[in-house]
Structure 1
Amino acid sequence: MSTTREPVTIIGLGNLGRALAETFLANGHPTTVWNRSAVKAETLVAGGATAAGTVADAVAASELVVVALLDPAVAREVLAGAADAVRGRALVNLTSGGPQDARELTGWAAEHGAEYLHGAVYAVPQTIGTTESSINYSGSAAVHQRWQAQLEILGKATFVGTDAGRASGYDVAILAGMYGMLGGFLHAAAIARAAGISATELTPMLVSWLTDVFPALVTFAKEIDSGDYTTEESNLVMNQSGLATIITASTSHGIPASPLAPLKELIDQQVAAGHGAASFARAVESLRSGA
């Protein structure tokens, strides 16, 4: 694994792209940048970066090309403009997207003689290059091994498999869990406020309770993977009753129970199918394809 300060190219200078370029520059890497709006490169050029006139020129400047654009459609469009330049390049795409987007781009890269590595970033731009930043990668194991030292500059680099879509698979699943939690928090804050409790008063108790609940996720995960939902503890009927109480309390305050209604529906389906004594985790079966 080389630690030589090889040239690096950054395609896209939004908040993430600028942070990537600044981090590579701070670590001594000759850095070429490209953005549709050239004005975004001015500060980086003043700091030592080289601005390429075209995306093809930017790709040609470095073996390692890091892409950070708005979305997969933009990434495909921009890279298509450098199709003749990507041969022999390592394309590391940090653009947010779904698993199929990554698989489509890895196919495109292979057709044009490039190797493809997809990354899912767990950091805000301000923390890129610090211990608070981590990035999951999937796709070309050769690219990850060859450029691991450089990728580690950006944050903890974890290779999760050769399927290019795997990093995005983790990403969308993790973010789905995050947004579910945030939606629950907003609903909780609205209910508390209706009861005369401020969100500031509620939150320490809520965080404490959630922290105690988090270990149950490990148990639920084992149940989901094994398909064995036998439990002596909190079963679906108990949770069905608890959710009904919360929904009634919410609506009695004029607060929609929309964040909880879909979960209640999943549990209702499982109870109706005769699984009321099963673990709460069995509600996932109502989300399976074709269920």
Structure 2
Amino acid sequence: MTKSDTSVTVIGLGLMGQALARAFLKAGHDTTVWNRTPAKADQLVAEGARLASTVGDALKAGSLTILCVTDYPAMFELLGAAAVDLNGKLLISMTSGSSTQAREAAQWAEQRGARYLDAAIMAIPPAIGTAEAVILHSGPQSAFEAHRPTLSALGTVTYLGTDPGLASLYDVAGLAMMWSVLNAWLQGTAMLRTAGVDAATYAPFAQQIAAVVAEWLPGYAEQIDRGAFPAEASALETDVRAMAHLIEESEAVGVNAELPKLIKAMADRSIAAGHGGEQYPVLIEEFGKVNT
């Protein structure tokens, strides 16, 4: 470990906050920590961290401050105290929340003289400090670039843009992708189990299908961005017949068909609107609508 000139403060020492602080320590950064329950800092102090007695003292100690607390209201409560001076500070919130909350937090911080970056951690605590930990950042690019080397101690850091809400939006978009893939796999697994095929046997085939579909994404993205959906592979009216088959087979073997019924209902609406001859990504119009 080589000592770094950049000092870091970590506020909030849940499992993730502890992992963040530990990664900074391992990278040689002078690391100050604070938590409502001081005992959570004991092991980090033993490893070389400095425990601040107050939030204000913690902020004074670091060149940048990482916030990893329960939610945005908790962050406002901690930083909004009269004794806390935010002027000139760089705050990086790694607290989960909505894009609206992130934008409001950025404005709130700027009004108090601080610079603000919002961040989303796409990893579990044990992965922090490795390349597998992806950390998304949004907000002022100059603030990010100035501290990129320090933030890289946490994992693979990415800058998304100046809109502070982008990190949160990417976070939930990633969750939508993750759960959709898992839900589709569970649907198929449930069907195959009725024929005595176990999940482990089906999983490699499911991986192959997922990999093939992933290869379609760049081309489909081009169609969405152009707003033109020529049926190069198959038309939606063809796909909807396959959806009906999936629903029929699910019900025939006694498996829940709510998920494929939901997607088929969206496809049916798109076809009714005149898009039956277009390719599957035309459903972006349905996904872009608020339920009424």
Question: Is residue 117–residue 137 contact of structure 2 (8 Å, CA) maintained in 1?
Answer: yes
Question: Is residue 63–residue 88 contact of structure 1 (8 Å, CA) maintained in 2?
Answer: no
Aligned to 1:234: 234
- Once the two structures are superposed, residues 10-37 of structure 1 have per-residue CA deviations (whole angstroms, 9 ceiling, x without a partner) of 0111111111100111122111111122
Aligned to 1:156: 156
Residue aligned with 2:132, SS: coil
Question: Is residue 56–residue 82 contact of structure 1 (8 Å, CA) maintained in 2?
Answer: no
Distance 1:134 1:260 in 2: 32
Question: Is residue 55–residue 84 contact of structure 2 (8 Å, CA) maintained in 1?
Answer: no
Aligned to 1:117: 117
Residue aligned with 2:162, SS: coil
The yes-or-no answer on 1:68 pairing with 2:83 is no
Residue aligned with 1:132, SS: coil
The yes-or-no answer on 1:194 pairing with 2:204 is no
Query: Which moved further from structure 2: 8-17 or 258-267?
Result: 258-267
1:8-27 maps to which residues of 2 (within 5 A)?
8-27=8-27
How far off its partner does 1:183 sit? 1.3
Aligned to 1:58: 58
1:29-68 maps to which residues of 2 (within 5 A)?
29-68=29-68
How far off its partner does 1:82 sit? 6.9
1:61-100 maps to which residues of 2 (within 5 A)?
61-81=61-81, 84-100=84-100
TM-score under structure 1 length normalisation: 0.94
How far off its partner does 1:271 sit? 1.0
Residue identity over aligned pairs, in percent, reads 38
Matched letter for residue 68 of structure 1: C
How far off its partner does 1:261 sit? 2.3
Residue aligned with 2:161, SS: coil
Aligned to 2:175: 175
RMSD: 1.7
Residue aligned with 1:260, SS: helix
Matched letter for residue 173 of structure 1: A
Which structure 1 residue ranges, 5 or more long, are not aligned? none
Residue aligned with 2:116, SS: strand
Distance 1:81 1:12 in 2: 16
TM-score under structure 2 length normalisation: 0.93
- Once the two structures are superposed, residues 121-140 of structure 1 have per-residue CA deviations (whole angstroms, 9 ceiling, x without a partner) of 22221121112122121102
Matched letter for residue 278 of structure 1: E
Matched letter for residue 71 of structure 2: D
Matched letter for residue 265 of structure 1: A
How far off its partner does 1:45 sit? 1.0
Distance 1:47 1:290 in 2: 50
Aligned to 1:222: 222
The count of corresponding residues between Structure 1 and Structure 2 is 289
Change in CA separation of 1:82 and 1:229 when aligned onto 2, cut-off 3 Å: farther
Distance 2:257 2:38 in 1: 47
Question: Is residue 55–residue 82 contact of structure 1 (8 Å, CA) maintained in 2?
Answer: no
Aligned to 2:275: 275
Question: Is residue 4–residue 28 contact of structure 2 (8 Å, CA) maintained in 1?
Answer: no
Distance 2:28 2:276 in 1: 61
Residue aligned with 1:160, SS: strand
How far off its partner does 1:290 sit? 6.0
Question: Is residue 33–residue 58 contact of structure 2 (8 Å, CA) maintained in 1?
Answer: yes
Residue aligned with 1:21, SS: helix
Change in CA separation of 1:249 and 1:149 when aligned onto 2, cut-off 3 Å: same
Distance 1:258 1:88 in 2: 52
Question: Is residue 138–residue 164 contact of structure 1 (8 Å, CA) maintained in 2?
Answer: yes
Distance 1:77 1:256 in 2: 45
Residue aligned with 1:104, SS: helix
Question: Is residue 55–residue 81 contact of structure 1 (8 Å, CA) maintained in 2?
Answer: no
Question: Is residue 92–residue 118 contact of structure 2 (8 Å, CA) maintained in 1?
Answer: yes
Residue aligned with 1:74, SS: helix
- Once the two structures are superposed, residues 186-215 of structure 1 have per-residue CA deviations (whole angstroms, 9 ceiling, x without a partner) of 222111112211001101111112212211
The yes-or-no answer on 1:106 pairing with 2:99 is no
Aligned to 1:209: 209
1:245-260 maps to which residues of 2 (within 5 A)?
245-260=245-260
How far off its partner does 1:4 sit? 4.1
Change in CA separation of 1:268 and 1:29 when aligned onto 2, cut-off 3 Å: same
How far off its partner does 1:77 sit? 2.6
